[in-house]
């Protein structure tokens, strides 16, 4: 593999993957990204121009997609509308990018016989009770809750159908909640860190018992690279690092890292249809492909993430006020 097309490579997880590829491999990288509100060229600043280029464009643009796919050995597909809260207020871009965009890519990789890896989410499986002893696995039935997760589920099913019907050389992965550098301030962890920096109390939806299974974005990248190289075509792999925490505990940990008193946060209006708990069983990925996460300690990873946001205010500052104003208008 010499040249990889990364869709959505100016977003949070996509940009972390691009940094990972340039640091840990020899491949050249083309990023295709529309630079929506969630994309940021600054996340790719300073990368080696001999091995990297950014093409600004839409994954729904079949002519552009066909031409870029014809140049590469593999496509790793991150581009998506990714935020659940946004999907509750304006679902249409989610259907367009997540469904039509994925379809457009599938037709191009089919035509050019290019290896494809589809990035998806644990949210396609719905949610778990707090005391459920089972976690999500590759055989858990699909049961998405939100417009976001239903469009991701739809895109997964398209990929599986293209594998079965057309023999596409594709793999899929469904990962749990990521944290780390370059995450937009609309998301839970960066919102709270940047609120504390700005002297605003963190905002907890509802009572805060909802559990997410946190993984560092670097561990997601190493898992995707492992699957792209050694995964079995047609297979799905769940990615997770045994990082279950409830939202209240995460806010308390951020407050403690940032030297603020325990309990100095606000409860705000809950998200409609809010999934209660996600939890990943990543046994297949670990036993079949030998993948292990590096960030075993969530609190240490969170400390590094707090430090990154303190050190990179110029990266997040332009989005902060408008993002916070939108939440306040929604009662959140």
**Residues with active-site annotation:** 122-123, 148
Question: By Cβ distance, which residue is nearest to ligand DAU?
Answer: 121
Token pair for residue 27? 């491949």
The DSSP string of 156-173 is: HHHHHHHHHHH---EEEE
Cα–Cα distance, 330 to 12 (Å, whole number)? 24
**Contact between 220 and ligand DAU (CB under 6 A)?**
no
**Contact between 247 and ligand NAD (CB under 6 A)?**
no
- 3-state SS class at 178: strand
- Considering only 177, 194, 253, 282, the residue that binds ligand DAU (CB under 6 A) is 177
**Which of 239, 215, 208, 244 has the alpha carbon at shortest distance from 305?**
215
Q: How many residues touch ligand DAU (CB under 6 A)?
A: 19
- Considering only 20, 142, 205, 308, the residue that binds ligand DAU (CB under 6 A) is 205
Token pair for residue 168? 């596409």
Cα–Cα distance, 163 to 170 (Å, whole number)? 6
- Considering only 122, 127, 218, 252, the residue that binds ligand DAU (CB under 6 A) is 122
CB of 311 to ligand NAD, least distance (A): 20
Report the relative pairing of strands 178-179 and 215-216 from DSSP bridges: parallel
Is the Cβ–Cβ distance between 99 and 35 less than 8 Å? no
- Considering only 177, 192, 210, 247, the residue that binds ligand NAD (CB under 6 A) is 177
Binding mask of the shown chain, residues 260 to 289, with x at each position contacting ligand DAU by CB under 6 A: -----------x------x-----------
CA count, 13 A, side-chain hemisphere, 22? 21
The residue ranges that bind ligand DAU (CB under 6 A) are: 82-84, 121-123, 176-177, 187-188, 191, 203-205, 210, 212, 247, 271, 278
The residue ranges that bind ligand NAD (CB under 6 A) are: 7-8, 10-14, 32-36, 38-39, 58-60, 78-82, 97, 101, 119, 121, 152, 175, 177-178, 184
């Amino acid at each position: 593999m010499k040249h990889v097309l990364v869709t959505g490579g100016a977003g949070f997880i996509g940009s972390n993957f691009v940094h990972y590829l340039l640091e840990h491999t020899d491949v050249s990288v083309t990023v295709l990204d529309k630079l929506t509100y969630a994309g940021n060229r600054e996340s790719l600043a300073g990368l080696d121009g001999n091995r990297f280029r950014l093409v600004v464009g839409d994954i729904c643009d079949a002519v552009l997609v066909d031409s870029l796919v014809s140049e590469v050995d593999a496509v790793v597909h991150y581009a998506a509308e990714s935020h659940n809260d946004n999907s509750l207020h304006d679902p249409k871009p989610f259907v367009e990018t997540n469904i039509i965009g994925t379809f457009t890519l599938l037709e191009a990789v089919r035509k050019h016989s290019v290896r494809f890896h589809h990035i998806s989410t644990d949210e396609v499986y719905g949610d778990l009770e707090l005391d459920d002893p089972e976690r999500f696995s590759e055989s858990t039935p699909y049961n998405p809750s939100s417009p976001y997760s239903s469009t991701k589920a739809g895109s997964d099913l398209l990929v599986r159908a293209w594998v079965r019907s057309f023999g596409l050389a594709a793999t899929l992965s469904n990962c749990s909640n990521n944290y780390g550098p370059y995450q937009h301030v609309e998301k839970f962890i960066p919102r709270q860190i940047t609120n504390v920096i700005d002297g605003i109390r963190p905002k907890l939806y509802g009572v805060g018992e909802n559990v997410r299974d946190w993984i560092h974005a670097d561990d997601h990248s190493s898992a995707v690279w492992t699957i792209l190289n050694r995964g079995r075509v047609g297979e799905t792999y769940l990615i997770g690092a045994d990082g279950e925490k409830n939202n209240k505990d995460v806010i308390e940990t951020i407050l403690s890292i940032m030297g603020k008193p325990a309990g100095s946060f606000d409860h705000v209006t809950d998200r409609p249809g809010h999934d209660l708990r996600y939890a990943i069983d990543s046994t297949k990925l670990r036993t079949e492909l030998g993948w292990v996460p590096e960030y075993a300690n969530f609190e240490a990873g969170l400390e590094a993430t707090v430090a990154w946001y303190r050190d990179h205010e110029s990266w997040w500052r332009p989005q902060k006020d408008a993002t916070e104003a939108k939440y306040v208008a929604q009662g959140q």
